Structure 1
């Protein structure tokens, strides 16, 4: 399929006729996005800022930024418009990704700016660093956060600052949480932390509705099935990966083992990794689950039989922090290949083919950005139907991030922001070739 024709027809809202196996209008955005993901690169032309200079007739937006780096990002899964960032100091900012401003750049070093639209007020923010952020999969105006201060908080986007709807004080440091995309009635939230049990929170109540027992140590990751509202996966610090069906009470269905078939649901059975499992993601069809371990391994599990599929990934993954590992799966289509697994490994963004583990992309943070203080990737989210990925970063040197700049970066397809540069480069090459031919033939030569 020609990408130029695809973009042209998409801009006009037309349905294009494709060859057999290529989707029509309803799946066009997925095909379009998949093409762009294969061409993604670091966007050095855009800066994220907490506040800016006041414009004529307007007051300065007094939004405080993340003073100690950014721990996590959460993205709106419905419209692809909103993003929230959580700082190591407990600060929470909201970003409207559609409000992008073109800048001249005081030193000519960047061309675009995305400004924070609001922030969570100090009275509503956690006392310690934010450990995870999730938008409600059914309502883009709602998002939730967990923190190392042992609290889960629910927020609602408003025209001014986000409103805190409910705060749940829990009994342990919280590492992550997950909201069920398949649950439309209750939208249960699974919360994991330093305690060996998992709390299930019903947003309609003011307390935990259920507790899942089975892990013997801290729970580092949780992820709901995208298709079944009762199926939950969890990863423990002891290397275990457990599967739960909450319809059958608080008992684990079984644990997955790297060398065997699923083991019985007892405390000693099954070992998915040789160290903690701090990253989990499901494939879009709900048939596979991907786990990332602090042993540097990534494994893909078939949920139909519960066994390790044996997909081997290159030994390039760096995963040594107990915090939630940056790991997402982007939807693709048969027309352009299978799903892509994206991870943030230290200061590199890596993409793999989920079917065979082959590395598809390996893009690092530019050296000039690293010198300016941009550190390792701590969070990773894709923007829905855009071909864009956003990352947040720990800071090497906080003092270098003055003037409201935040440790957030955008990665997008070269087709979207380097097209003019490529055309200019080709033109210059043609001119040089034309000069060479003209000197050789002593006659004017033109390229059509």
Structure 2
């Protein structure tokens, strides 16, 4: 009995991974189900779709600030308390949405949701995975972030069924209950650091060879201080680069179905391609995490930006179903720039220790991409009658961002080289 408890305790890293994965499924299921609420809520509250969009913009702006605050909160009060508190705020937001009868209360509920959003998304997952895993860090982060896509696939069907049998208000109440349930799960099982229960990060314990630790030391560097990094031009170049790429990628992703219909596909065929796209995205997150361990975050980031350019170009010439399938798969690689790729890229460029302090800022700024992308893309469509022109412009823009990315690599590469030289 004692030996089995000891074995379970020594593998507690995987308990952490499973709990965070479940949290990402519930959270991802809710944030990826907005489209199913549009018609029921606008009709139920008697508001226009434009006002509904205003609530989403208000939420996104709040998300930017809440994401930027995650690093401070994690260091100040800890990951476990921050995330559990955020899940309570999210649950309260869903309950307020369920009972509100006025538009201004619904908008306030979305602002409340934005406050709880930051700690529960990529920034939080990257923080806790980094604390518990040194070996297979990228792969575990990829698996955990897969939960958002998986949750979206499951919840869109589940919540639609709830709305058909009851109504949209009950769908919000059920979502609030699930958020509270996963909060209790994290409260019971989650620990901020392995050292708190007498363990070391996975990969640093005595069961693993010294060779792994030596390789890790050679491949990674801690980075300069977060304050110095924020003052460096390359940091803001990185934030701008990620923001611009996210605008281009999320713009294409948001209009994928109507664009396919414009190209002659039926609504059902377009939905099938969308399904393949979402499945490919889930798998790609896992692959990107694994690939980063083999070739590094810098190479992964460059591949994702190049995939954005290639995918956007292919979207303008969907000559056959085979080409369309290839296009959505390539584009799924690009969309990881909105999730798993950014933490791995920042860790590789800015250093393993420094990235934790600056990641929230970059993710917060990049979250604005979803605010600008849809209006820009649709305004261009209204002006030209097609999405092709804006996609071609996006190709040129992403190629410029690829060049900027290599400039950033060179700028911070010099700092890393000087650090290694002084350390030697």
Q: Same fold (TM over 0.5)?
A: no
Higher strand proportion, which one?
1
Structure with bigger RCO (C-alpha 8 Å, 6+ apart): 2
Higher helix proportion, which one?
2
Larger radius of gyration: 1
TM-score (norm 2): 0.26
